[in-house]
Amino acid sequence: MSDSLDLGVERTLVLLKPDALARGLAGRIITRFEDAALKIVGVKMKHMDAEFTRKHYFDLEDRAGAEIYNCTAGFMQSAPVLALALEGVDAVAKVRKIIGSTFPDQAAPGTVRGDFAHQTKASSEVSGKAVMNLVHASGNSEEAKYEVELWFDASEQFEYETLAEKFAY
């Protein structure tokens, strides 16, 4: 990957949340990333326990408050999640564009959340439930580096060349 870094190639983390798995959307969501020339370099299914959830969302309580942290943590621990380490040119920004705005009712059609998630911010606040928005994605390069390393050991990340890389890079 070192030669690719000059081209803006980076890694990022995507979590398919419990609602994505419960609704059988994993394949359709993953296809969108692959269609955008993002390469899967790590994948695993995991139940997030309380300790791991706190490591993953280490700053959420400070940013959003204890109530939102507890609601999010409870949802993320309610069923397994599917973690993907994705690699590609400007992977963080590309993934964020593909998934759409955090709140499904604000996400554009054509994005994962705009097409498949339908909960509004207001309904989440009224119900006291976490926003069912199908996916988590790293917000910036620093967060991506932290999250990929938290979720995947070096031995769980793979190097290989895709046809897209062969022709595009």
Catalytic residue among 47, 56, 118, 136: 136
Write the DSSP assignment of 96-118 as a string of letters: HHHH--SSGGGSPTTSHHHHH--
Write the DSSP assignment of 59-74 as a string of letters: THHHHH-HHHHHHHHH
Q: What is the rounded distance in angstroms from the CA atom of residue 50 to the CA atom of residue 150?
A: 15
Extended strands (E) in 9-166? 9-16, 39-46, 81-89, 135-137
Best CA proximity match to 40, nearest among 135, 133, 152, 150:
152
Q: What is the rounded distance in angstroms from the CA atom of residue 85 to the CA atom of residue 62?
A: 26
Residue 56 appears among annotated catalytic residues: no
Contact 95, 14 (CB under 8 A): yes
**Positions marked catalytic:** 136
